[in-house]
Structure 1
Amino acid sequence: MAGRGARRRADVAGEVLVRRLYEQHGKSILAYAIRLTGDRSVAEDVVQETLIRAWRHGADTSGQSVGRAWLFTVVRDVVAERTRETGQVPADRAMDSMQVLQAMDSLSPERRAVLADVYIHGSSVGEAAEKLGIPPDTVKSRTYNALQSLRKLLGERERADGLVVHTP
């Protein structure tokens, strides 16, 4: 009987961990999974698998910053595993992502940080402002200017390389 009670407490602690991680990081990891897969339903499955792995490895996710980084790594790994298993690679999305990441390298560190926080990590303008220690209007202007720069860079690369890069 004592073993059953300890197991139940561990299960409850695991459920609490998963709920806390989902509340803190669910939107971000779902957005990231959608970007990687291009399919919301597949991305939701990836998030579920990520949270199951977090439950199994609860001790590894005790710190907030470590937990977030670990979750993003797990999302990427789950997507890679699914891609290997199915043999389907969304090549156009992968190429677009690579082009965007390469173009982001040419942005100033300030603009790159804002884009990463808002678009990759899924932070709101207010959250990004607080995290980066800048006013919300600065987040908005840096985001706007960074996106304009990316569109210009990607357009130049598309013309130079003959690549088709989709920008909104």
Structure 2
Amino acid sequence: MSWTVLGSVGAASAQERATRSLYEQHARPLQGYVLQLLGGDLQRAEDVVQETLLRCWRNQQLVSGEQDLRPWLFKVARNLVIDDYRLRRARPKEVDGTAWLEDVLADNDDVDRVLSSLVLGKAFQALSPAHREVLYETYYTGRSTREVSLLLGIPPGTVKSRLYHAVRKLRLVLGVTEAVEEKPVVAAK
């Protein structure tokens, strides 16, 4: 049993050459058209183009090449997009076994917010009044370093320093640890 290689033109049958020609002539314009219909969804557009060309291969006489297939291809592609759209609208939304968990996690109730504010309030008590003040003005009110500097009457460098130490102390109190990247030791020459 021998296999015909599609890449060799001499060994390919007339049907194979016609199919290759169909793809080369119509796939790119068809994909552009379908992409517009689908709002840029490349995955679905490729599926529609593939199905359109497959239907053409099954239903048309490609070898003869007497007729212009482009209008027929575009109409089939459009109908496939419409059918897919109708099918998606008619079918109920699919859910898996974890959908309830996502719904529960998506519901932010006031309990989480209250607990977070209690924990943060306790952590704030560990800060000095100067650190608390800079942290509040920067993060809570959203002021810039310059604005906090002018408001509190201290230099911008002091605002930055207090902010750095306040955040560092909060992390320590809250038990937030950062992974420390170890630097390689370079041997002396």
Q: Pick the TM interval, shorter chain.
A: 0.3 to 0.5
TM-score by length of 2: 0.36
The structure where helix makes up a greater share of residues is 1
Compare relative contact order (CA 8 Å, sep 6+) and give the higher one, 1 or 2.
1
